[in-house]
Amino acid sequence: MALCFFAAVACGGDNDTDASAASTVQSSSSVASGGGGSGGSGGASSASSSSGMAAMATLAPTKASWTIILPGQPSDETLFTVTNAGGGTVKVTKVEFTQPSSGPQGKFSESSNTCTGKSLGPNQTCTIGVKVIDSMAGNQSAATGSLNVTTDAAVAPLTAELSFTVT
């Protein structure tokens, strides 16, 4: 689901994104239309500007999934890229996870982070590495959560859906 925020107007639409799609958030003082699409297009939109050019942050990929074959072992790392796709400067203020509340005894873990506290100029990027840490073997199944990246250009965090399965 993609959400748009423009001044006091909120809108939403379906968004079947894949690993090559980007979640986008910008803020704007004028009302504009937006929404989700399918096949990886769309995203959330709202702008921050101190220099007259709107800063726009994106996160890619917007989905990641892991299959853990050896319970108790960490997964491979998946890198998520935050990009300032607009003008001005975007500062990444927080990176956090929504953890599984049930399912396998595992969690999403930040394995690397060049983003928190970093100011990105136009077209600059930073990365966040994510792994799954599975803490128990046994009758495990699947779980979901999310990676949430907060920037000063966004009225809502950039979000990537995360899931893992323990076999």
pTM above 0.75, yes or no: no
Total count of domains within the chain: 1
Strand, coil or helix: 124:
coil
How do residues 74-108 score in pLDDT, each as one tens digit? 889 999 999 999 989 999 999 999 988 765 567 89
The pLDDT, as a whole number, for residue 148 is 97
Owning domain of residue 18: 2-166
Strands of 57-60's sheet in order across? 23-25, 57-60, 78-84, 125-134, 106-113
Pairing of strands 125-134, 78-84: antiparallel
Cα–Cα distance between 80 and 127 in angstroms, integer?
5
CATH number of the domain within which 43 lies: 2.60.40.10
Q: How far apart are the first and last CA of the chain?
A: 28
In eight-state DSSP terms, residue 100 is P
